[in-house]
Homo-oligomer: A and B are copies of this chain.
Amino acid sequence: MKTSNTILIFFTLSLLFSSSFGAVQDFCVADLSGPQGPAGYSCKNANKVTVDDFVYHGLAAKGNTTNIIKAAVTTAFDSQFPGVNGLGISLARADLAPGGVIPFHTHPGGTEILILLEGTLCAGFVSSSANQVFFKTLNKGDVMVFPQGLLHFQLNSGKGEALFFVGFNSPNPGLQLLDFALFKNNLPTELVAAATFLDVAQIKKLKGVLGGTG
């Protein structure tokens, strides 16, 4: 390849392929102010996308665990981390003080994979077909997968703190905490009782704790 051809080559190659692909959708960084559809947020103008749209700092700090569950969940879902919009993936971190717990919950829109980085965890899920419980004590470095939509929990079973990260195969898997769904809203106590077989006193107690009414 002769040097004298370099400029010619540069121009022709550039013209050859570049112009056609202006809208190739390698990614669709969320424009949180635009219209939202079933597949996610509208895309930010590609010309304004920078590397900072693909980097998120919000999981670096430990969450505040001085609360009733002695635990904190911090998420990097599409509404916090617009870069994952449309990419079918997201991440979250969980910090658990001694005795801390992520109570029974589901993710309506995704499977979860967990990697334990610190401490000891008792984690489990329940199958829908046979109500079979799959639970186990996890140690540092252990990985566990929780199939989509099934009830699961994680409990710090060690003496120190526990830290883990979870990945999801959705930019927005959702998180439905059982106690919140049942007791932290205005669903009438008698309806909760009828639909759960829990005692009224139990329901009222937890509604009281969580601020539910009715």
Contacts and interface: CB of A to CB of B under 8 A. Distances in A.
A165 B69 CA distance: 27
A140 B163 CA distance: 14
A87 B147 contact: yes
A90 interface: yes
A7 B42 CA distance: 39
A98 interface: no
Contact of A176 (B77, B78, B128): B128
Contacts of A107: 149
Contacts of A50: 134
A119 interface: no
A43 B37 contact: yes
A124 interface: yes
A60 B142 contact: yes
Contact of A149 (B106, B145, B182): B106
Say how many copies of this protein the assembly contains: 6
Nearest to A41: B37
B88 A24 contact: no
A110 to B, nearest CB: 8
Given A38-B28, A103-B195, A145 B21 contact: no
Given A77-B24, A149-B176, A35 B46 contact: no
A38 B169 CA distance: 15
A122 B51 CA distance: 12
A75 interface: yes
25 contacts: A9-B67, A9-B68, A16-B67, A21-B79, A23-B32, A25-B36, A25-B172, A26-B129, A36-B42, A54-B145, A54-B146, A76-B143, A84-B113, A91-B143, A104-B182, A106-B108, A109-B148, A109-B149, A129-B174, A131-B184, A133-B187, A135-B187, A135-B191, A149-B174, A167-B167
